[in-house]
Structure formats: C-alpha cells, structure tokens
Amino acid sequence: MKSKFDRDILSNLESYSSEVSVSGEDLIRLHANELPWKNEAVILALKESLPSMHINRYPEVTNSEIRQKIANYIGFETKNVLIGNGSDEIIDTIGKAFISPLDKVVIPYPTFSLYSTITKIYSGLPIMIPLNKDYAPPIKKIISEAKNAKIAIICSPNNPTGIAYTDEELKSILDTGILVILDEAYAEFNGHSGLELLNDYNNLIVMKTFSKAFGLAGFRTGYCVSSEILIDSMSKVMLPYNLNLVSMKIAEYAIQHKDFMINSVKKIKENRKYLFGALKELDGVNPIQSSANFILFETENPKVIYEELLKRKILIRYFEGKNYLRVTVGTYEECVKFISSLKEILNAC
C-alpha cells in the first residue's frame, strides 16, 4: 500500500517481517535466534526494585548510569558507550548520524536485512557484495569497493551464515580508512570479540546487544562502543529518553548475573554441536559450520521443509527465493524434535 504523503524512498521498502503470524504456547520457536531460557535472577531483581522506581520521572537524559555499568563490564569508559532501544536503534542512529544522500554503504550479503533498509531510509546507496560461494567473507571485494564508499557494515558472526570474520580480515577492512560498523549481536556464541580493535582504530563502531546471549530480546537493550568523537556524533541525533527505566535496570541486572549468560552460551554451544552433527548425517541437507546460535543449511526443498515443519509446530526461518533455511539452536529437546521431524519430512520428499 502507498499513501500520497509517502517519501519516494518508501516504494523501495517493505515492513520488517521476520515474524510470521503463528503463535501458541506449543510452538517451537527456532526462527528468531532467541535464547530459549529466561534469566530468573534478573526477573527477581526487577520485581524487588520495581516498587521504588520513579516511574513518574524521566530517566536521567544521558543514560550515564547504565552506560557506565556496561563500560565497566567490557573494560571501556562511559564516554565510549552509547545505549539504544535494541541494537536496531543503534543501526538507525548510525544512519542518522553518518549516511547522507548518495553515500555508499558496503554491505556483504546475505546478511541482516536492516542494514540496507536503514541505508535506503537515509537515501544512501547500499553496495551489496555477495559472499563467496562457500559463504566466506568476500574480503578483497569489500576492500576494493571501500575505496569509493563511506561505510562498511560487517556482521560477525554473520546472520544468517554464522561465519565470523577474523581480526586480520577486519583489520584489512579498517585499514582502508572507511567507517566500519561491526555488528557483534552473536559474538558471545563465538567466544571472540573485535572490541580490542578499538584500541588501534578510531574508524570503528562495535555494536552489541542483550537480546541474544543474555536472553533479553523482550526488553530491547543494545549498545555500541566506539571512539568518543563518534559516540558524540551519534548522541547528537539520538532521541532523548530513548530507553525506558525498566530496560536499563534489566541490562544492569543482566551484567550482575552474567553467570546465566555464560552458562547459556555453554549449553547452546553443546546443542549446536549436536544439531550440526545431526544435520550433517542427513541426506538432502548441507549445514554450514556456525559460530553463532543458529545454523544455516542448504536444501533443494526449502519451502516444503519450512511448511512441513510448521505443520509440526516448529517455526524456522525461511528466505524467499533462496536454497537454504536457518534454524536457531534451542534447548536440547527442541533440537532433537527438530531433527526427528526433519528426518521424517526428508524421507517423504
């Protein structure tokens, strides 16, 4: 649909629709790269602090308390951290601050769709660079395109492939001098972060989130880490009071109770190993080794598999026109149920 008031750019955009309108308590959700567990210690801490919260007041406008807690957690200073309503808001803020009309933004793809959407919203030009055939990062092409571009957006580990960039690869992109946005939404599942590169590069913004390994997607808290000068630029365009009191408190408790995240990552890695091994054994699918909490697998019948799984109350991620599907690593029981259902479907194909 189109209204007469739309900016022209809207005709190039679609609403974000990773969610499918299927729900129900018995649905096994393996489509959105969420954590299957809730951090009960965080819920308890929130319950205790709610009555004394000043919900009639605006939060402190610079969000300094939570920024400082995050900074301590990752070993940086408050001035290097900016917090957003999910890392989605951080991506939007990067667009607002740094993308002018016709600025070129290098985006290796397939990857998270929001990067090109935000680029288009700010009238920038997404330069989409296909991943190599084996889904490895197309480093040489990224570097050669970077010469004429302003920004590169790198997702590591990449959604939906699960493949991470090495520090050497990242350095070679950073050395071009382009502004590099490194989205580390899934880095905890890889056990490695590019945060240390910030000590040597001031053209880098690293994005992180509490939505994935910390299991707090519902509370929408993300952040980025960068040089003071880039954080200042972003602060100028970020909406005031962007984060609510509860989301900030929740992030604080999540750091306090980070043992939950550490244990969850450990369990997800075990389940990922099981899931990858089981997929590898099946005829008719080809899984890609992943450093994240999801696995991409190639198949000749993605639509049939997706729909048949859904009939069995298992929701995974379908990509229109692609020869692969993405499955989130859930609990062990969910992974077993997924594999046995997939076996059944493949046998009938």
Residue choice 39, 209, 264, 293 for contact with ligand PMP (CB under 6 A): 209
Segment near ligand PMP (CB under 6 A); pick from 167-175, 189-197, 209-217, 330-338? 209-217
The interface with ligand PMP within residues 96-125 (CB under 6 A) comprises 112
Q: How many residues contact ligand PMP, by CB under 6 A?
A: 13
Of 185 and 230, the one with the shorter C-beta distance to ligand PMP is 185
Show Cβ contacts of residue 252 under 8 Å, excluding neighbours closer than 6 positions: 65, 66, 69
Q: Does 36 bind ligand PMP (CB under 6 A)?
A: no
101, 159, 236 from 120: Cα distances, Å: 9, 20, 21
R_g of the chain computed on alpha carbons: 20
For ligand PMP, the closer of residues 93 and 159 by Cβ is: 159
Degrees (nearest 5) of the Cα angle 144, 147, 150? Answer: 125
Helices (H) and strands (E) in the chain, counts: 11, 12
Q: Does 87 bind ligand PMP (CB under 6 A)?
A: yes
Nearer to ligand PMP, 217 or 246 (CB): 217
Site string for ligand PMP, 166-185 (x = CB under 6 A): -----------------x-x
250 is a site residue for ligand PMP (CB under 6 A): no
Q: How many CB atoms lie within 10 A of CB 38?
A: 12
Distances (CA, A) of 211 to 188, 272, 318: 11, 19, 21
- Least separation, in Å, of the C-beta of 245 and ligand PMP? 18
| Angstrom distance (rounded) from CA 8 to CA 260 | 46
Residues in contact with ligand PMP by CB under 6 A are 33, 86-88, 112, 155, 159, 183, 185, 209, 211, 217, 222
